[in-house]
Amino acid sequence: MLQQQLTTLLAQTDIALTEKQQQQLVQYVELLNKWNKAYNLTSVRLPEDMMIKHIMDSLVVAPHLPGHHYIDVGTGPGLPGIVLAIALPDTQFILLDSLGKRVRFLMQVKHELGLKNVTPVQSRVEDYQPSVKLDGVLSRAFASLQDMVDWCSHLIDHSGKFIALKGVFPSEELESLPVGVKFEQKITLEVPKLDAQRHLIILSKD
């Protein structure tokens, strides 16, 4: 049922995934659904809704990540990080969250799905120091652009990007960006079966 739904949704995008990658996404939804009952990881309760609101909503970002090292701050149950790690097996993802129960879930997902390119980390973002040079900081429903830049600025240098997954285009947030940060690009995302606006906002350091 979920596999068929995923195949139908993917057919409405330009994203090509192998059979194994599709199986991993289905398995991830099944794990999320199972753990959600005890851990309350997401307010989305039905697996078929998770497939649209979480999987596809994260997956549409994959074509826009050119680098090889990213950190997903405030990843929660691994969104978008787990989904992107499945779609981009040659790219490394640090999944950062301050809550132990979420990180335990991420460790389980990593183990069960055999994901070698995922590093779950329990930490506050302000306290975390990456051991590798990062191409970008990812954030989905984590904070305002201003907070994202304030809290995550130490994670990247001038060649790195702040990449925020947003709903409605955040005009007001962009007008109040701190000094030293510039708006680079907005990408309008199309999520199959999702009747809502989605934008990818890319910022960099001046």
Task: Name 188's bridge partners.
Answer: 199
DSSP string, 10-32: HTTSS----HHHHHHHHHHHHHH
Q: 112, 116, 108: which is closest to 77 by C-alpha?
A: 108
Q: 44, 39, 51: which is closest to 102 by C-alpha?
A: 39
Residue 26 burial class via C-beta count within 10 angstroms: exposed 0-12, middle 13-18, buried 19 and up: buried
Would the annotation count 172 as a binding residue?
no
Q: Give the count of beta carbons closer than 10 Å to the beta carbon of residue 50.
A: 23
DSSP state of 165: E
Would the annotation count 74 as a binding residue?
yes
Q: Report d(CA 55, CA 103) in Å as an integer.
A: 19
Would the annotation count 45 as a binding residue?
no
Would the annotation count 102 as a binding residue?
no
- 16 contact partners, CB below 8 Å, separation of at least 6: 10
Would the annotation count 25 as a binding residue?
no
Binding residues for S-adenosyl-L-methionine: 74, 79, 125-126, 140
Binding residues: 74, 79, 125-126, 140
